[in-house]
Amino acid sequence: MRRRGKNMAVTLLNPDGLPKIDGYRQVSVATGSKMVFVSGQVSWDETGAPVGEGDFVAQVERCYLNVGTALAAAGATFDDVAKLTVYVVDLTPDKLEPFLEGVARAAEKLGVTPAPPISVLGVAALDVPEHLVEVEATAFID
């Protein structure tokens, strides 16, 4: 599946022989000449104030919005993302639906559907106790 976007440096695939997952693609092929690495984004606003304290959905949304801001600073968008890594404090299966809700809220605000390959990892804690989730991205642009 080729994604639309000005750079077209990342193609997302769901190859035969692997499950088709609605929220993301299994493979990304990057051909861009410029790599963009976005550090783990947490639920802080531009001043460093916490957003969504104790609200997992709000924190997921803010993390994705922060990734979008970081990508834009590098001249990229979610269409250019080849891989997302998400760290969730005390990850359990019941957090999947709220996670997807937070992603959907951010996607609506960003006007995109972030669907690159993703790894969601459970962790004991993040940098400060208030943070429940952190999202980092790797993108390629021409």
Q: Is the pLDDT of residue 2 over 50?
A: no
Structure tokens at 138: 């790797």
45-89 pLDDT per residue, tens? 999 999 999 999 999 999 999 999 999 999 999 999 999 999 999
**Confidence class of residue 8 from pLDDT cuts 50, 70 and 90?**
low
3-state class (DSSP) for residue 135: strand
Does some domain include residue 72?
Answer: yes
Does some domain include residue 5?
Answer: no
Does some domain include residue 40?
Answer: yes
Does some domain include residue 94?
Answer: yes
CATH number where 66 lies: 3.30.1330.40
Does some domain include residue 59?
Answer: yes
Does some domain include residue 4?
Answer: no
12-26 pLDDT per residue, tens? 888 888 878 777 788
Does some domain include residue 2?
Answer: no
Q: Which residues contact residue 23 at a Cβ distance below 8 angstroms, ignoring those fewer than 6 apart?
A: 100, 103, 115, 118
90-113 pLDDT per residue, tens? 999 999 999 999 999 999 999 988
Q: What domain range includes position 79?
A: 10-141
The domain tally of the chain equals 1
Does some domain include residue 114?
Answer: yes
